[in-house]
Amino acid sequence: MHLLDIYIISDSMGETGALVAKSAISQFKTQDYRIKRFPYIHKIDELKTILGKASLKPNTIIVYTLVEKKLANYLEEYTSKAGILSIDIMNPIIEALEEKLESAPSREPGIIRKLDDDYFSRVAAIEFAVKYDDGKDPEGFHQAEIVLAGVSRTSKTPLSMYLANKNIKVANIPLVLEVPPPKALFEIPSTKVIGLTNSPEKLNEIREERLKSLGLGRGSSYATYERILDELEYAERIMKKIGCPIIDVSNKAIEETADIILNFAFKNSISFNLL
């Protein structure tokens, strides 16, 4: 028996067709096959050349993922006349979805690649948020699209991660009484900085719970009203020096605060590649 040639023809990368073909052939105890991939086929002449070569092979199957209808129609007509077995992976599913969704498909080759790019961009934003969380490296402020600044327990990290999932690179810095803020915080545009504050009562409540979860007693100054008031006053002075907006997060969900930040950014013509 002649070696089985499996042609994968696609107007994108052809990964889907290749994966399906490999999955199917793995169900058979044979190594007498080879898979040839022909990606980014957008012209009838290119398709005609490939099909001409396929027709010369004694044992060929064509697997194709052509969302451009004219190419798919040409391939179907050619293989039918030439007696070549061909399998259309993409269009039956597209047509079924078109019927159920009652809307026309975009017929845009490689659109899944764009979705993948968005995914990897979001992952990069999340990694950025982790790397520059809690003021670990102030140099990241220059690369960040948004820098969150505030005292401890003002939702800096959750906000950073939430915004990162929207493909925004966010760094954050805690404003601590005993630690002068890094110079980088004053070197970046004030429109990139968002100050976060909270009510003394809410901070006291949150910090008491935090101490309890760590197995620490109430003796720590971290949760005392005096300490909290001093921190809030200190943070406010820094924020006013920067000239950044200040958001009180005391009665706001993360999503609500994020929307305020995004609206502020929009008003200041800061553009993001939002997902």
- Name the band, by pLDDT with cuts 50, 70 and 90, for residue 114: low
Claim to verify: residue 120 and residue 105 sit in the same structural domain: no
Within a domain: residue 144? yes
* pLDDT tens per residue across span 127-147: 999 999 999 999 999 999 999
Q: Residue 167 carries which side chain, given as an amino acid letter?
A: N
Within a domain: residue 214? yes
Last residue of a domain, one of 109, 126, 151: 109
Claim to verify: residue 239 and residue 200 sit in the same structural domain: yes
Claim to verify: residue 180 and residue 88 sit in the same structural domain: no
- pTM listed for this prediction: 0.60
Claim to verify: residue 118 and residue 102 sit in the same structural domain: no
In this structure, what CATH number is given to the domain that contains residue 205? 3.40.50
Claim to verify: residue 57 and residue 182 sit in the same structural domain: no
Residues 6+ apart with CB under 8 A from 208: 218, 223
* pLDDT tens per residue across span 143-173: 999 999 999 999 999 999 999 999 999 999 9
Domain count across the chain:
2
* pLDDT tens per residue across span 200-240: 999 999 888 888 887 776 667 888 989 999 999 999 999 99
Claim to verify: residue 154 and residue 120 sit in the same structural domain: yes
Claim to verify: residue 59 and residue 11 sit in the same structural domain: yes
Last residue of a domain, one of 61, 90, 109: 109
* pLDDT tens per residue across span 18-55: 999 999 999 998 889 999 999 999 999 999 999 999 99
Under 8 Å between Cβ of 125 and 160 = no
In the chain the first and final C-alpha atoms are separated, in Å, by 51
* pLDDT tens per residue across span 82-99: 999 999 998 898 889 888
Of 209, 212, 211, 238, the residue nearest 151 (C-alpha): 238
Sign of CA dihedral 248, 250, 251, 257: positive
Claim to verify: residue 87 and residue 156 sit in the same structural domain: no
